[in-house]
Amino acid sequence: MNETMTTWSRNRDGTLRRQVSRALTITVLCVLAVAGCRQEGAGSSILGGPGGKRTLSKDERMEWWREARFGMFIHWGLYAIPAGEWNGKRIPGIGEWIMERADIPVSEYEPLAKQFNPVKFDADEWVRIAKNAGMKYIVITSKHHDGFCLWDSKVSEYDIMDATPFKRDVLGELSRACKRHGVKLCFYHSIMDWHHPDAQAPFYPNYNDRDRTNPNFASYVENYMKPQLKELIDNYGPLGVLWFDGEWIGDWTEPQGKDLYNYVLGLQPNIIINNRVGKGRKGMEGLSKSEEYAGDFGTPEQQIPAKGLPGVDWESCMTMNDTWGYKSYDHNWKSAEDLIRKLADIASKGGNFLLNVGPTAEGLIPGPSVERLAAMGEWMKVNGESIYGTTASPLGQVPWGRCTAKPGKLYLHVFDWPADGRLEVSGLEHEVKKAYLLADKTRTRLLLTLEGRNKIVLTLPAEAPDRTNSVVVLEIED
Ligand code: H79
């Protein structure tokens, strides 16, 4: 007898959720797996609002994300305590990898939890810092490769509630703060786990050995990772994105990636999932090898694609210095000017910018990060319209800066303000009706002369409104 039972409950967003017994869940997942995971247009979920079946297309799920364009990455965990040093030695490389880079056994790394007491943590302050920078979403490490969990996981004692003196639900506080401030909360979740005995813990001292496998890995996936993801969505959702990482391990396969993709979408039909859920990512370049692989968007890491990628969803994640997790002695900060231009560069190529902060073990976002985010926010307050909801440049590369687009408008991001006041714009396919500076509230027309069929010359004032990036708006025929 197949004893299945169906019950209905209401999600936090008011939609109905069907809860079924295990046997039926497996049937549903099999159907989804057979149907394939990339169902653009066709919809990607069978569960939905009141009245029965409703499918969400990929375009519907991606809508807020494409509008947002700018998010905050937060890498925070036990690695903030050593902050790049182990046994008095500075450990080269990214701070959150210290357990692997310094060959630290689980028995020595795990006790760091007893010291984790970030009394200066203030969720509202973190969210305010992100929001004032113009960021629309936050992606925080629910669990990084080291395995430590920032919430009270029921299937683990290696978490903020059970293992630390702090005993505050960091993800819960952030979830409530994000709701208060209208910022989307998203989680980074590592598939690789250096702490779990059924995952990579036995690989010590080479936790990252891609040639090794663990015969118990399936148990880790079914009895630990999947229940954890359900906890995260049920208790802190609805989430914006689930951002997987660590998919390169020897135990992970594309079919497992597709299964996980479908599992997560089954838990929350409108969620977005990055391409590191499966095996389709092309190295640090991050884009997917083809549409056959699971995942909704590409993930270039520490780099920006050279050319625009119209019609492809991607997000460059990047550090402000040279580490994701806090390192006390990394002072190699990118300038605010550089970061503002990178944001425009990414938008001009059709991507999102996920910019990282690595808070300290006390719970503070480092001062240099806060200063840079404030400067970006100042720029965004004036020029945000040229970033949010824009698409890749139809002009290709332009010599003086970058270009972003919206229906009926082109935004010229002028990095190099012309000394002679002449700005040439070539490759225009539509008639330009009007030009003005985005910083000019009166929208005074700029003088514009036609030079040939597809080229105009704008006459700009001598002073740039912004020495980093001044935006000129072209109103064009649609
Ligand atoms: O969380 C941050 C880093 O800790 C994490 N990703 C960002 C968002 C990160 N993991 N690994 N790295 C950064 C660098 C490691 C790259 C390698 Fe590989 C892993 C080299 C070989 C295996 C991935 C797969 C890149 C090339 C193949």
Residue ending a domain, among 345, 363, 386, is 386
Which of 330, 353, 386 lies at the terminal end of a domain, its last residue?
A: 386
Q: Are both 292 and 367 inside the same structural domain? A: yes
Which backbone phi and psi does 456 adopt, to 5 degrees?
A: -125, 160
Distance CA 125, CA 92 (A): 31
Task: Identify the CATH number of the domain in which residue 272 sits.
Answer: 3.20.20.80
Whether the CB-CB separation of 308 and 348 falls below 8 Å is answered with yes
What total of structural domains would you count in the chain? 2
- Please state, in angstroms and as integers, the Cα–Cα distance from residue 395 to each residue in 362, 391, 411, 459, following that order: 47, 12, 11, 19
Q: If we measure between CA atoms, which residue out of 418, 424, 420, 390 comes closest to residue 404?
A: 390
Place of tokens 């702490």: 195
H helices of 313-392, in order, are 336-348, 367-383
Atom of ligand 1 nearest to the CA of 324: 2
Question: Does 16 or 353 have the greater pLDDT score?
Answer: 353
Q: Which of 160, 140, 143, 141 is nearest to 151 (CA)?
A: 160
What is the percentage of the chain residues whose pLDDT exceeds 70?
89
302 CB under 6 A from ligand 1? no
Distance 301 CA to ligand 1 centre (A): 8
Cα 246 to ligand 1 centroid, rounded to whole Å: 7
Q: Whose CA is nearest to atom 2 of ligand 1?
A: 324
How far is ligand 1, taken at its centre, from the CA of residue 453, in Å? 48
C-alpha–C-alpha distance, residues 195 and 202, integer Å: 9
Q: Of 386, 419, 444, which closes a domain?
A: 386
Specify the pLDDT at position 54.
56
Are 437 and 382 in a shared domain? no
Per-residue pLDDT band at 127 (split at 50, 70, 90): very high
Q: Provide the phi-psi class of 246: left if phi over 0, else alpha when psi is between -120 and 50, else beta.
A: left
- Find out whether the beta carbon of 192 lies less than 6 Å from any atom of ligand 1: no
- Can you give the pLDDT at residue 453? 86
Q: How confident is the model at residue 36 (pLDDT cuts 50, 70, 90)?
A: very low
Question: Nearest C-alpha to atom 6 of ligand 1 is from which residue?
Answer: 245
Look up residue 459 and give its two tokens.
Answer: 């006459």
- Is omega for the bond preceding 238 within 30 degrees of 0, making it cis? yes
Q: DSSP for 194-216, please give it.
A: SS-TTTTGGGTT-TT-TT---TT
Backbone angles phi, psi at 208, to 5 degrees: -95, 20
Ligand 1, atom nearest to 325 Cα = 4
- The three-state secondary structure class of 243 is strand
> Which of 10-14, 68-72, 293-297, 402-406 shows the lowest per-residue confidence on average (mean pLDDT)?
10-14
Rounded percentage of the chain residues whose pLDDT exceeds 90: 86
Phi, psi of 448 (to 5 degrees): -140, 125
Measured from the CA of 190, which atom of ligand 1 is nearest? Answer: 1
The answer to whether 46 touches 115, Cβ cutoff 8 Å, is: no
Domain boundaries, position 407: 401-476
Q: Rg of the Cα trace of the chain?
A: 24
Ligand 1 atom closest to the Cα of residue 94 is 4
Closest residue by Cα to atom 5, ligand 1, is 245
Domain contains 355: yes
pLDDT at residue 35 in the model: 34
Question: Does 12 have pLDDT greater than 70?
Answer: no
What does the pLDDT look like over 343-372, one tens digit per residue? 999 999 999 999 999 999 999 999 999 999
273 and 158 in a single domain? The answer is yes
Query: Residue 111 gets which letter from DSSP?
Result: G
Q: State whether the beta carbon of 30 lies less than 6 angstroms from ligand 1.
A: no
What's the gap in Å between 82 CA and the centre of ligand 1? 20
Cα–Cα–Cα angle for 320, 327, 204, rounded to 5 degrees: 115
* The ligand 1 atom nearest the CA atom of 145: 4
Report the candidate in 318, 311, 327, 387 with the shortest Cα–Cα distance to residue 361.
Answer: 327
Assess whether 268 and 411 both reside in one domain.
no
Q: What is the DSSP string of 29-46?
A: HHHHHHH-S--TTT-S-S
Regarding whether 118 and 259 lie in a shared domain, the answer is yes
Asked whether residue 37 is domain-assigned, the answer is: no
CA-closest candidate to residue 445, choices 427, 458, 455: 458
Residue 9 lies in a domain: no
- Whether residues 413 and 365 share a domain: the answer is no
The residue whose CA has the least distance to atom 1 of ligand 1 is 324
Instruction: Please tell me the distance between residue 20's alpha carbon and the centre of ligand 1 in angstroms.
Output: 37
Tokens matching residue 30:
């099999």
Same domain, 89 and 133: yes
Q: Are residues 69 and 181 in the same domain?
A: yes
Query: What distance in angstroms lies between residue 382's CA and the mean position of ligand 1's atoms?
Result: 36
Are 406 and 377 members of one domain? no
Residue 361 shares a structural domain with residue 423: no
Q: Across residues 260-281, what is the average pLDDT? A: 98
| pLDDT above 60: residue 43 | no
C-beta of residue 98 within 8 angstroms of C-beta of residue 82: yes
Question: Is 26 inside any structural domain?
Answer: no
Question: Is position 225 within any domain?
Answer: yes
Specify whether the CB–CB gap between 395 and 433 falls below 8 A: no
Ligand 1: which of 72, 75, 94 to mutate, most ligand atoms within 8 Å of CB?
94
Whether 439 and 413 share a structural domain: yes
By most ligand atoms within 8 Å of CB, the mutation choice from 73, 284, 289 for ligand 1 is 284
Distance CA 328, CA 334 (A): 16
Helix residue ranges, H only, 123-214:
123-132, 170-181
- Tell me if the pTM is above 0.75: yes
Amino acid type, 385: E
Amino acid at 83: A
Q: Is 242 within 8 Å of 189 (Cβ atoms)? A: yes
* Cβ atoms < 10 Å from Cβ of 394: 16
Measured from the CB, is residue 313 less than 6 Å from ligand 1?
Answer: no
**Å from CA of 220 to ligand 1 middle:** 21
**Secondary structure class of 355 (helix, strand, coil):** strand
- Are 293 and 441 found together in one domain? no
Residue 21 belongs to a domain: no
What are the C-alpha distances in Å from 96 to residues 82, 121, 291, 298?
Answer: 10, 19, 31, 22
Asked whether 64 lines ligand 1 (CB < 6 A), one says no
Residue 3 has pLDDT above 50, yes or no: no
CATH of the domain at 438: 2.60.40.1180
CA of 380 to the centre of ligand 1 (A): 30
Q: Is any ligand 1 atom within 6 A of the Cβ of residue 161?
A: no
Q: Is residue 34 one of the residues assigned to a domain? A: no
pLDDT tens digits, one per residue of 285-313: 999 999 999 999 999 999 999 998 878 99
135 within domain boundaries: yes
Does residue 146 have its Cβ closer than 6 Å to ligand 1?
A: no
**Contact 317 CB / ligand 1 (< 6 Å):** yes
Decide whether any atom of ligand 1 lies within 6 Å of the 283 Cβ: yes
Q: Whose alpha carbon is nearest atom 26 of ligand 1?
A: 283
- Of 241, 159, 146, nearest in space to 200 by CA: 146
